[in-house]
Structure formats: structure tokens, C-alpha cells
Homo-oligomer: A and B are copies of this chain.
């Protein structure tokens, strides 16, 4: 059910094509929701069938036509309803942590290399989020409520990555 609302949320902010939504889920919303383009295109079709979206085909000569999706009144209603329902805590399924439960079978060097790769990735992500923070949210006190909550979601992303990095430090020290 929830990808549906992730798309409605994003389109509620501003209309977009499937391609643009894919990018948002990778970038600005990467911290909050992930989905592949295949999944997104499929779900957009369903939402259109369900009458929660409108679509406008923007013709292009050089590239495939863009389909610009826009949330409509029914979509807004559905979204507003969902937003005020309590959300489920997401399930945890982390294969790397899982491997640590069979640590006696693990090659220490392979694991160290994996940690380093992850650390690089976490640092890259953190730098990205920090850049968004500086660009859009340098004065969080003055933000309208809408953006204040988005800012707090971003803060969650930043704190989460800092925790991963701190944990990686503990692990490297212990090994």
C-alpha cells in the first residue's frame, strides 16, 4: 500500500514524470523511501486507473514523450486521510548485520573491506545530505511548517548516517 502514498506524497509537492520520481526517490527522498523505476511506472498506472492522478503527455521530438503526472482532488483526499493514520514501524532486514551472527565462518579481511566500502558510501551520502541541509535549510527556525517537517526528516537521515559511521569506528577498533 505504501508505495502508493509515497508517490502521492511526492506528487503532492509537485507534479512529475516517472523518471523524475525515480530520481527523487534516489536523491532527496533516499532517506525515506526507495523504489525502482519499474515499480514506479507500474504503480503510477494503477493510481491513474484508481482515479487519483491526472496525466498529461508532453510531446518531444528528440526523446520519448514525457508523461507528466499530477495529483487530483481524489488523490489529495486519499493522501490526507493516510497521513493522519499511525504509521507502522518498518521491518529491519540487514544482511550485513545478519552475517555477523555467523562471524566464525567469516573471513576477517573480506569483512574489513566490506566495512570500508560501506563507510565510503555512508560518508558520500552524509556529504550529500549536509549539502541539502545548507542549501535549503540554513535557517530552520524560519521555515513554514511544511518544510520544517521535511527538514526534520532530513535530520533523521543525517543522524542515521552519523550513527553508522560511529558504529563502523567501534567495529574497527574492536577488530
- A117 contacts partner chain B, Cβ-Cβ < 8 Å: yes
Partner of A32, one of B98, B114, B146, B147: B98
Main secondary structure of the interface of A (DSSP, over half): helix
The docked-state distance in angstroms from the alpha carbon of A153 to that of B167 is: 9
A159 contacts which chain B residues (CB < 8 A)? 163, 166-167
**Total chain A interface residues with beta-carbon distance under 8 A:** 67
The 3 closest A-B pairs by CB, nearest first: A103-B149, A87-B95, A87-B96
Chain A residues within 8 Å of B, Cβ to Cβ: 2, 5-6, 8-10, 12-13, 29-34, 76, 79-80, 82-84, 86-107, 110, 114, 117-118, 121, 140, 145-150, 152-153, 155-156, 159-160, 162-163, 166-167, 170-171, 174
